[in-house]
């Protein structure tokens, strides 16, 4: 992966299930266990985003889950970049664990916005599970997908 660490923006939510649970010493173990399980699914404290301008390319590299709870950290910046005429956006998904339907909807909208303004969004470095899901949904026929950032740059040059 191309080094894009110079302008890392850390926007993790910073909460843990323990922060939300508070003092549970008086509760049963079963209640604690159920609460931990539910909170681990609801709270996503490990979302980060790298956003970098590299020459003519705008690079986004989210980390963690791209879902209803985390997409707010990416959506505004991605849409703003996609609204620029002739934009060249690389979405590096190497460190993305999963993408839900809300996250996918935002990515598709950004792609459509960029294309409407003569720009391009290329999705790179997807893990096998995300890649197979995208192919199963026929997203490879609609979205620009490349295996590496180098190939994405070649496609847009």
Q: What is the mean pLDDT of residues 49-75?
A: 92
Q: Which residues pair with 8 in a beta bridge?
A: 50
Give a yes or no: residue 2 inside a domain: no
Predicted local confidence at residue 30, as pLDDT: 52
Query: What rounded mean pLDDT belongs to the chain?
Result: 80
How many domains does one find in the chain? 2
Predicted local confidence at residue 34, as pLDDT: 53
For 65-93, the pLDDT digits (tens) are: 999 999 999 999 999 999 999 999 999 99
Distance CA 120, CA 141 (A): 14
Give a yes or no: residue 1 inside a domain: no
77 lies in the same domain as 28: no
63 lies in the same domain as 25: no
Confidence of residue 46 (pLDDT cuts 50, 70, 90): confident
**Residues with Cβ < 8 Å from 9, sequence gap 6 or more?**
49, 50, 51
pLDDT at 126 over 70: yes
């Amino acid at each position: 992966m191309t080094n894009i660490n110079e302008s890392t923006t850390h926007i993790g939510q910073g909460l843990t299930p323990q922060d939300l649970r508070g003092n549970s010493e008086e509760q049963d173990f079963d209640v604690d266990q159920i609460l931990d399980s539910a909170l681990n699914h609801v709270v996503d404290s490990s979302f980060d985003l790298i956003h970098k301008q590299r020459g003519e390319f705008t690079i986004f590299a989210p980390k963690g889950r791209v879902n209803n709870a985390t997409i707010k950290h990416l959506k505004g910046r991605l849409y703003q970049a996609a609204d620029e005429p002739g934009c060249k956006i690389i979405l590096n998904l190497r460190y993305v664990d999963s993408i839900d339907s809300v996250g996918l909807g935002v990515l598709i909208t950004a792609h459509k916005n960029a294309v409407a303004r003569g720009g391009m969004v290329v999705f790179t470095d997807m893990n096998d599970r995300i890649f197979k899901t995208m192919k199963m949904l026929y997203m490879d026929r609609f979205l620009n997908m490349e295996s590496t950032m180098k190939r994405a740059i070649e496609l847009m040059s």
